[in-house]
Amino acid sequence: MLAGRNIICLASNWFFDPTSKHHIMTRLAERNHIVWVNYHGSRRVRVSGADMKSVVSRLGQVFRGPRDAAPGITVLTPIILPWPGSGSVRRLNRVILVRQIRKVLRRLPDRPVQVWSFAPDVSHLAGQFGEECLIYYCVDEFSEFAGYDSELISGLEKELIARADLVITTSRGLQTSKQSLHPQTHLVTHGVDYDHFARARDPGTPVPPDVANLPRPILGFFGLIRDWVDLDLLSHVAKRRPDWSIVLIGEGGDETGVCTGLSNVYFLGRRPYAELPGYCRAFDVGLIPFRVNELTRHVNPIKLREYLAAGLPVVSTPLPEVIACGSLVEIADGTDAFIAACERAMAGNSPDHVARRQTAMQQETWAAKVEHLSRLVEGVLSPSVSQVTGGEGR
């Protein structure tokens, strides 16, 4: 594994639910120090309850200053202005960001610095820290997110790719769209916290009380509930199968209204990551009910591997990365097909099928992904540096 570095990680909020960023950086922190920058300058703030709540939360983090959030990880929530469309604001943000990050770096041992950006619009930070390499870790087609300035984000992302030493993509769609822009573009699909989710098959794992007594079968989902989740589809399924319980775990916006009044649809809100295996133990099927559009055609849902590690049958709309799993999943397009796929998944959920899903995930761990990433980083460093990093974790 990569070792002996100070790694600047530009990503979404550390205090959100665990994402690929959290899993990767937590493991890299075992042999490096991570400066996690809660970057929030990609989208202009809207006058809405959710955005105002987010602003208040971030201001509280700003005033608390940098803090050690986990072993080997210092979290910085910088003061930056959320007006990405203004060139003068971006220049001001660069000055502010660089100053704040350098201040944190001065507290750390003098070691080589790397920049890993999960944000697409930070090319203005390239070269500001004497870094030995800049890595763009692309997990989404950011220009397709609602509320983002598509043309602006696309242009800024191209600038970042041009300045990067290495581009990592997490889906085949993303790899295809970025590899023409950079010769060192690689596909590294998401991993899974296998041991954590495999606990769903342990009889000793408690089922949370809010689902323990729901009518079965239980069709479950966890993750952000945003405009990419097809609640229209789920409402149709719920009406057609009133004897099924549909459970959605995660932070939801205004989109939940279409399911209002349906007695067999349960919005439970956010639940701790530690409790997800218990919910998986209660589920009869794991759902990935995403709308299929330009955003989701490039996505690789982390929950796919988490459901499979838990041994769950998975039913999904036709997303390319889910289709790539072949017979491990059921793919369905439309209400009739989705209901039929759920029925097939439950009818064919034998112990052999459970074992097959879990076995397929045992080599897909985050630890294995970090080893792969380390080798790719070593490949873009000079041979002398590669010898230093190559001495550990083999």
Per residue in 255-282, pLDDT tens? Answer: 677 888 899 999 999 999 999 999 999 9
Q: Which residue has the higher pLDDT, 291 or 56?
A: 291
* DSSP H/E element including 287: strand 285-288
Per residue in 69-83, pLDDT tens? Answer: 899 999 999 887 776
Fold classified for 194-361: Rossmann fold (3.40.50)
Q: What's the confidence (pLDDT) of residue 92? A: 86
Q: Is the torsion defined by CA of 13, 123, 103, 379 positive or negative?
A: positive
Which part of the chain has CATH 3.40.50.2000? Answer: 6-191+365-389, 194-361
Q: What's the confidence (pLDDT) of residue 16? A: 87
Q: Is the pLDDT reported for residue 394 higher than 70?
A: no
Sort strands 185-187 and 67-70 into parallel, antiparallel or unpaired: unpaired
Say if CB 308 and CB 357 are below 8 A apart: yes
Average pLDDT over residues 222-228: 94
Structure tokens of 14? 């550390």
Sort strands 285-288 and 218-222 into parallel, antiparallel or unpaired: parallel
Q: Which residue has the higher pLDDT, 115 or 148?
A: 115
HSE-CB of 36 using CA atoms within 13 angstroms: 25
Low-confidence winner among 84-88, 278-282, 307-311 (lowest mean pLDDT): 84-88
Cα–Cα distance, 328 to 321 (Å, whole number): 12
Q: Which CATH number is 6-191+365-389's, of 3.30.470.20, 3.40.50.2000, 3.40.50.300, 3.90.850.10?
A: 3.40.50.2000
Q: Is the torsion defined by CA of 77, 79, 83, 89 positive or negative?
A: negative
Per residue in 172-210, pLDDT tens? Answer: 999 999 999 999 999 999 999 999 999 999 999 999 999
Encoded amino acid at 257, one letter: G
Q: Is the torsion defined by CA of 101, 102, 104, 110 positive or negative?
A: positive
- Measuring CA to CA, how many Å separate 381 from each of 30, 234, 386? 21, 48, 6
The angle formed by the CA atoms of residues 318, 11 and 138, to the nearest 5 degrees, is 40
Say if CB 327 and CB 352 are below 8 A apart: no
Q: Is the torsion defined by CA of 390, 380, 154, 228 positive or negative?
A: negative
Say if CB 93 and CB 53 are below 8 A apart: no
Say if CB 249 and CB 306 are below 8 A apart: no
Say if CB 190 and CB 300 are below 8 A apart: yes
Spacing of C-alpha 144 from chain mean position: 16
3-state secondary structure of 47: coil
